[in-house]
């Protein structure tokens, strides 16, 4: 039995889940609905600065449409609950905890502090966040904030930034998720996930961290020359803006 299958709940309480259309959260959504037969309330926090927002929402809509056809009761999958990150800025405490993690030299995704801001303002507790296991062992962030692979928070002050969440796939690798999805007949849906943070049009860039980590089988990436060209244009724009600011300051 894999770690994910060991997650079988004792009841059928609804799952409140942060869903992005990515591999990990989409796996958990489908696992809860199709394997555990639990109702799910998906939650999406809109970040206007995230270049992949529209593609994530499009992916979620496509997955949802196909997933509803596989449910005995479509009401098991609630409409997506959406919040705008700017409406819930992180408190000074959360910003300080995030800064402390970064000062320690530990890599942490920028989403965690603003998600914590939303959770704190809305009084969330136990909402599921999908931080997965890695084949090469726990990450530095995992070692800092957890005491085990079940998501028990450590005594480190920084761990309190994660007090709003539960972690259903912390013991499960992406490969194990694929095996479970194949066994239960939803790998075709899961394979439609979106993962790129910096798409070129509607194609993944192939350069960002999620692109580097994803299974590349069957994925069409943007032409590398175009991605490089975009990078050069962005660099030139930044240089130009910086030069204009210097001119204005000295005028």
pLDDT given at position 194 = 74
Greater model confidence, 85 or 235:
85
pTM of the model: 0.81
Domain ranges of the chain: 5-190, 209-250
For residue 5, the model assigns a pLDDT of 44
Q: Read off the pLDDT of each residue in 96-102 and give the average, rounded to a whole number.
A: 97
Token look-up 């994925």 returns: 219
Q: In what order do the strands lie in the sheet with 81-84?
A: 81-84, 40-46, 15-18, 127-128, 165-166
Q: What is the pLDDT of residue 84?
A: 97
Residues found in the chain? 251
The pair of three-digit structure tokens given for residue 99, joined into one six-digit string: 């800064």
Q: Which of 35-39, 52-56, 241-245 has the lowest mean pLDDT?
A: 241-245
Per-residue model confidence as pLDDT tens digits over 152-175: 999 999 999 999 999 999 999 999
Percent of the chain topping pLDDT 70: 79
Task: Give CA 45 to chain center in angstroms.
Answer: 10
> According to the model, what pLDDT value does residue 55 have?
87
Whether the predicted pLDDT of 37 surpasses 90: yes
Q: What topology does CATH give the domain 5-190?
A: Rossmann fold (3.40.50)
Residue 66 has pLDDT above 50, yes or no: yes
Q: What is the pLDDT of residue 245?
A: 74
């Amino acid at each position: 039995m894999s770690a994910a299958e060991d997650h079988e709940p004792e009841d059928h309480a609804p799952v409140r889940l942060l869903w992005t259309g990515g591999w990990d959260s989409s796996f958990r959504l489908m696992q809860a609905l199709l394997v555990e037969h639990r109702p799910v309330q998906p939650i999406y926090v809109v970040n206007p600065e995230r270049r992949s927002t529209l593609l994530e929402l499009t992916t979620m809509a496509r997955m949802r449409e196909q997933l509803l056809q596989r449910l005995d009761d479509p009401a098991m999958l609630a409409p997506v609950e959406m919040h705008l990150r700017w409406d819930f800025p992180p408190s000074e405490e959360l910003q300080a905890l995030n800064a402390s993690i970064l000062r320690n030299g530990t890599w942490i995704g920028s989403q965690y502090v603003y998600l914590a801001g939303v959770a704190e303002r809305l009084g969330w507790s136990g909402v599921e966040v999908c931080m997965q296991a890695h084949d090469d062992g726990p990450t530095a962030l995992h070692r800092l904030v957890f005491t085990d692979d079940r998501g028990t928070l450590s005594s480190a002050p920084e761990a309190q930034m994660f007090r709003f969440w539960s972690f259903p796939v912390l013991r499960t690798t992406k490969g194990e998720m694929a095996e479970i999805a194949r066994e239960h007949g939803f790998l075709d849906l899961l394979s439609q996930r979106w993962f790129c943070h910096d798409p070129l049009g509607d194609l993944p860039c192939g350069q960002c961290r999620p692109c580097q980590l994803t299974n590349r089988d069957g994925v069409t990436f943007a032409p590398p020359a175009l991605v490089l060209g975009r990078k050069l244009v962005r660099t030139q724009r930044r240089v130009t803006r910086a030069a204009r600011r210097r001119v204005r300051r000295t005028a």
